[in-house]
Structure 1
Amino acid sequence: MTAMSPTGPAERRRLPSGDVRPTYNLETLLDVAVRVFTERGYDGTSFQHLSHASGLSKSSIYHHIESKEQLLRLGLERALEPLMASTTEDGATTGSAMQRLSYLVRRNVEILSERLPYVTLLLNVHGNTETERWALGQRRDYDKIVAGVVQEAIDEGDVRADVDARTTARLVFGMINSVREWYRPERGVTPDELAELVTSMLLDGIRAR
């Protein structure tokens, strides 16, 4: 497979007819694919749809990408890699359980706001392909890690004893994930501001009194 350059803006080249056709690198092609997957659903997207959205011929796309599912995997990795990496960062591994939980919530919001199209794609997968099942497995692993931190915070007395750790983790991230439905970075709320607001609202609700 011939790899495309992972960075740099899309270029444009002039065809013999005088028409101008965009020449995409991997990142820009991936951006288009993620948008189309989200709009149409992965199963409802064909290479014809990707060709129409990108302005590239199907043969040009195949020259750089082996399959549609490869694009899906790359898009999901853009969301999952920072999410899973956040669980091993210093803020997630040091301090009290409540401090670690606060850090994980904040990082989740930051990642969602910074990689909104990719996280939206992740939250829309249904497990119909091997790649989607892999992504759902990664999400379950992440949820287990967070539920474990919630349980530690309960045991340490910082989170109410009447809450269930796994249910609480699901509710916390269910609320965070709903942010994708209305958050638009261009409207002036920065990722840091959003993370501070969501973290304070969520954790105040489960904090022991």
Structure 2
Amino acid sequence: MNASQPSRRGRPGHSQSSVVAVAVETFNRHGYEATSMGMLADALGVSKSAIYHHVPSKLEILRLALDDALSALETAADDAEAAPPSAASVADLMRATVRVLIEKQSEVRLLLRLRGNSDVEREAIERRRAVDRRTAAVIEAAQAAGELRGDLEPRELARLMFGTVNSVVEWHRPGGRQSSEEVAETVVSLLMDGARQRA
């Protein structure tokens, strides 16, 4: 190659992000374990060897996809922890979580279906549980501030909230009648109306 020409990784028509995106859809359709590199190559319209110019393994594709979703959820938890303890901070956390689930719907669907069959999966499951624990702490702080009902156990309330929020992954369709913002406001309104401290 001419020294004046920049080097290029990968193959024309695909980037690492596009390979991961197609792979995630394929994992969700067939299951991660059942998806072979040959199936991914067919879905991408390339040879198996071409995939390795972008990612070293199927497991690395899984790790990249899960990290994308988890990093966004962890950022939402970071913001909630940095805010003053209040019902508003809990509502903002749920609102941000709904947005992540809608924007990264395929990656989150994959995350929610993990079975813990590899170190990558087990690490992802632990990171998800850590977000649950951090959310419970944010809820507990809001309860201590007198803004959320004190008769609700923080960890159980966090699980109930996430159960509702996670359901968005299964029924929301991009381009539907409600925008992501409208879905987020509907979900947050329903969750917070039941959790707020009554006057």
TM norm structure 2: 0.90
Partner of 2:185: 196
**Letter of the structure 2 residue corresponding to residue 186 of structure 1:** G
> How far 1:92 sits from its partner (Å)?
4.5
Matched residue, 1:118: 107
Aligned to 1:45: 35
Task: State the Cα RMSD in Å.
Answer: 1.6
Counterpart in the other structure of 2:5: none
User: How many angstroms does 1:3 deviate by?
Assistant: 4.7
1:170 equivalenced with 2:159 (yes/no): yes
Counterparts of 2:9 and 2:151, CA distance in 1: 53
Residue pair 1:93, 1:100 contacting (<8 A) in 2 also: no
Task: Name the structure 1 match of 2:170.
Answer: 181
Conserved? CA contact 1:76–1:122, under 8 Å? yes
- The one-letter code of the counterpart of 1:117 is S
Once the two structures are TM-superposed, the CA of residue 174 in structure 1 deviates from its matched residue by 0.8
Q: Which runs of 5+ in 2 are unaligned?
A: 1-7
Pairing 1:1-209 to 2, within 5 Å after superposition: 3-4=9-10, 23-89=13-79, 92-209=81-198
How many corresponding residue pairs?
191
Taking only the aligned residue pairs, the percentage that are identical comes to 38
Q: Which runs of 5+ in 1 are unaligned?
A: 6-10, 12-22
**TM-score (norm. length: structure 1):** 0.86
AA aligned opposite 1:153: A
Aligned counterparts of 2:104 and 2:75: Cα–Cα separation in 1 = 14
Higher relative contact order (CA 8 A, sep 6+): 2
